Structure 1
Amino acid sequence: MSDEAMYKIPTIDLSAKSLLRISQLGFFLCFTFWFSEGVESNSDYVFPAMFAISGFALFLSVPNSRMGVTLGIPALMVVMGLATGENEVLIWAIFMMIMFGPIAYMPALASGDSTLDLEDDARVMRLGIVWLAFTLLMVFMMSSLVQAATEGEWKEEDFDESEYTMSIDSTQQTIAQVGLAVGVIGVLVFIITALVGTEI
């Protein structure tokens, strides 16, 4: 039998590693809160419970929790989609894997977690790939930000597939433009530094 502990109580301080863990937990707790709003039946608690368990499993360094989160959340979505006949959930499961996988692995890759058993060069390279994939996914999922920044309005679709238009004032549009610029600059800086091989 392995002597590896089932969990580890993390040290909470102002170090980068600790703040990364807290941020990671906060991300999953936000999803727990969002998915728990408006629950109407017991089955609606499946996803909030899943996000809460995932967040605390990562926070407490439960063995294989990163792989479990990366594959477990999409797998559960597929099962729920097949059970309820909502086939569009299968497509969202792919997005969830691309989104939650990087969130599960980035703190460990950034802090050089020994459980990854990676050399520094390989760790940094994988961190870059994971970060870029996550960033591009966020840009794609937040595509309405482009319309908000350029036009001051964008279209959304409700659960009943009815479209409606959202609009913002000039101040909010300026904030959206700044946010879009920061996102684009961040991706460009990452790509340039990766190609040139220098650090900023």
Structure 2
Amino acid sequence: MKQGEQHPIAAGVTALVAVAVGVGLIVGIGMFVGVNLMGLGGGGAAGDQATDPDAGASLYAPPPKPTKTATGPAITLNASPTSTPEKQGASVSTSPSASKTVAARPVKKEITLQAGTVAAKPMERIDLSGIYPGGEGAILRLERNDGQGWEDFGIPDIPVRGEQFSTVIQSGRVGKHEFRVRDVDTGTYSNPVTVTIG
């Protein structure tokens, strides 16, 4: 090897390092330009917010102002019987809106039952379904009346999910049958539906 010539391994390592640095610079510059073009860089937005702190605000709330009360509140919520305005010496408003209280009405739980068919052959599939507003989680029992009084039909109890319920039955007993469901906890009955089998 002549003096001044580099060893081949050292020359190869130097070339690899030079290529790696060049590729790294190109990738870094490309990412910097791409981030700024896509608006992901926070430089401009941070500068704007530094000069105008409300530039990014999307909700405006007016400053609070004290309310004027003459003789007390017009509506009293959750008032106890021991602290009525008469006992406190306050004047009582006689306007209908202030003197009348509206009690929240409970949801009337009515079970609505419907049959998928009104006539079926013996052992043919009969779909029964319905809705039970306010009856989420209730357990219903199917009953049948074939002219001799209501009796349990003998299938597993039906759960109410999403205020709805459904089941499938089969019967080989020929004749006119009425079906209804009963809430096993409250005793509430649905409307009866009639299916003729035969």
TM-score w.r.t. length of structure 1: 0.18
By percentage of residues, which structure has more strand?
Answer: 2
Q: RCO (CA 8 Å, sep 6+): is it higher in 1 or 2? A: 2
By percentage of residues, which structure has more helix?
Answer: 1
TM-score w.r.t. length of structure 2: 0.18
